[in-house]
Structure 1
């Protein structure tokens, strides 16, 4: 019997990540509407995350560089320890270029259970990059014993709000190599409202790595793009990454799903299906900055691969299982 997933899965949670650990549990992290803390949820099943009690594992500081706008936490298990990567700022004010002022940070726990009272999360500090500029949405992946860091950052010499970069890591909180530019907003669909490449996520299948990302403003223009590389190539050579000309996942006006993006990947309970995790809205009229509209909801849906081994994400699923959101 095919597994049917609740959609939206978690209400008012943007930038979602679902990670299935070796203990058999799914762990869920996302931005909370108040942008003031990091919480985790845990369940044996995907649908169970809809009802799992969230646990706050870290609170923003009262002042300083980790005191405002806590964005997009991602949970990773690296070499026997848990890490959460997130972005934070010391102010809600915009800079002279009209941009937020985030930098990237990481916390660490050696507890077997990241939600236990003994987890004791340690602040490892800021992940330093050569550019001291707006940066966010870090993710990591490891292959052949090498750990890589991918993130979004503003380069003052390049038009737009953010580009995608990759670097090798010396450890889970320190870059080892110089950053390499992988993608910047160049197509029309990447420049609607704002010129943005952000929210990277990594998928491995059939000897290829796929790097999905989100582009344009966080309203109905938000859409997902993708870069592809063979897994035996040099990840730090930007020429090895092939960028898709068109979005691979975008708003569907017929079913009323808008701005799907900032995705992650996981697998079904039986391990047989690949799952796309993302946020979306079911309306377009937003008063004020879309970032402060709380109704980006977490969704999850199955996807397949075509004959060339490329992921086929299809269209966003309609909201069907939550009363009042149909």
Structure 2
């Protein structure tokens, strides 16, 4: 019996050399994972990130630590779509009620296969056949006919709104909002949600982008990315719906200071393009984002996906803390 115990302990020790300890994880959770979107659903984490090619891929794992080694599964191929075949960025999948029942709607950015691809980037949406985040998916709609990025969906009073990023009106790259009659159909005009007005939103370039919904204790908020993604000072800002109408710019209040930014002490630069997810037991709130490990890092596929738990301030606003150094052992989300 003594020998058997020693052998078992040796196996555990050997496994511990190659996997995270039970109940912990370390960042990054995906090494080449810009623009991450992560959700926990029916016992597993699902992660999608920018591929910069003609595929949309997703990873699945029962633990956060397991995402790093999980396989990328192609959930949709864009090849053959004339106005959105290539350069896939910023995928997000939202479980929404629509005319076809409860489905996942996967929003993404893609453009044409041309030398100067950036002006051709547009918003698009897929619909799942059922309630599996990995699909299968079918193409549902193009969302707009001009340059737009970073689609997300806001829900207020049972109504859906598409948020996105647009830069064609001389105010710098800005966030906009527009009504949806269903998850794939826009109605009315888009309205400006935020523009880069503060100095910390204009470092290297004037940018507001990547608006993401956040809800807490009846408060509706939007967290967005600010300044140039190709500089070290890319960071997160906060909007709060202080009125009742999300389509009225006067009903939104922008916080005057950023809520998440670089940490030179922890070698984390350009933390941004975030999302939110709940722990498996629903008791914790988590932030997922990408960042670089060098001040000279760029806006490319070398950005890595990272996650950390956050808390709430007394006024109901999020307290994201400081971005954690890569390799730091962190407790896994509660309920794993």
Mark yes or no: TM-score above 0.5: yes
Q: C-alpha offsets along residues 45-77 of structure 1, whole Å, 9 cap, x if unaligned?
A: 222222222210112324621122111110111
Instruction: Give the drift of 1:256.
Output: 0.6
Matched, 1:154 2:167: yes
| Equivalent residues, number | 303
RMSD of aligned alpha carbons: 2.0
After superposition, the Cα gap between the structure-2 partners of 1:94 and 1:196, relative to the gap in structure 1 and judged at 3 Å, is farther
User: What is the match of residue 76 of structure 1?
Assistant: 94
How far did 1:321 drift? 5.3
1:301-312 equivalences under 5 Å are 301-312=308-319
**Secondary structure of residue in 2 paired with 1:271:** coil
| 1:257 to partner: Cα distance | 0.3
Equivalent residues in 2 for 1:119-268, closer than 5 Å: 119-128=135-144, 132-155=145-168, 157-160=169-172, 162-218=173-229, 219-230=231-242, 233-268=244-279
How much does 1:275 deviate?
0.5
Instruction: Determine the C-alpha separation between the residues in 1 that align with 2:182 and 2:281.
Output: 33
1:113 paired with 2:132, answer yes
Per-residue deviation at 1:3? 5.1
> Aligned to 1:31, what secondary structure does the other structure show?
coil
CA pair 78-63 structure 1, distance change in 2 beyond 3 A = closer
Distance 1:297 1:316 in 2: 13
SS in 2 for 1:265: strand
* Higher-helix-fraction structure: 2
* Cα distance in 1 for residues equivalent to 2:116 and 2:70: 35
Quote the Cα distance in structure 2 between the aligned partners of 1:92 and 1:210. Answer: 37
Q: Is the 8 A contact 2:40 2:280 kept in 1?
A: no
TM-score (norm 1): 0.87
Unpaired runs of 5+ residues, structure 2, are: 1-21, 330-336
Q: Aligned equivalents of 2:264 and 2:224: distance in 1? A: 21
8 Å contact kept, 2:40–2:279 = no
- Deviation for aligned residue 1:38: 0.5
Alignment of 1:298 onto 2:305: yes
- C-alpha deviations, 1:225-276, integer Å up to 9, x for none? 110114x711111111110111111111111100000000011222221101
Task: Quote how far apart the aligned CAs of 1:144 are.
Answer: 2.9
TM-score, normalised via structure 2 length: 0.84
Q: Which residue of 1 aligns with 2:15?
A: none
**Alignment match, 2:68:** 50
Task: Quote how far apart the aligned CAs of 1:20 are.
Answer: 2.1
Counterpart of 1:25 in structure 2 is 44
State whether residues 43 and 62 of structure 2, in contact with CA within 8 Å, keep that contact through their aligned partners in structure 1: yes
Q: Which residue of 1 aligns with 2:56?
A: 38
SS for the counterpart of 1:193 is coil
In the alignment, which residue of structure 1 is the partner of 2:321? 314
1:262-277 residue pairs with structure 2 within 5 A?
262-277=273-288
Partners of 1:242 and 1:94 in 2: how far apart? 36
Greater C-alpha radius of gyration: 2
**1:7 counterpart (19, 27, 35):** 27
Separation in structure 1 between the aligned mates of residue 23 and residue 282 of structure 2, nearest angstrom: 12
Runs of 4+ in 1 over 6 A off after TM superposition: none
Go from structure 1 to structure 2 and tell me whether the alpha carbon gap of 1:100 and 1:221 turns closer, same or farther (over 3 Å shift): farther
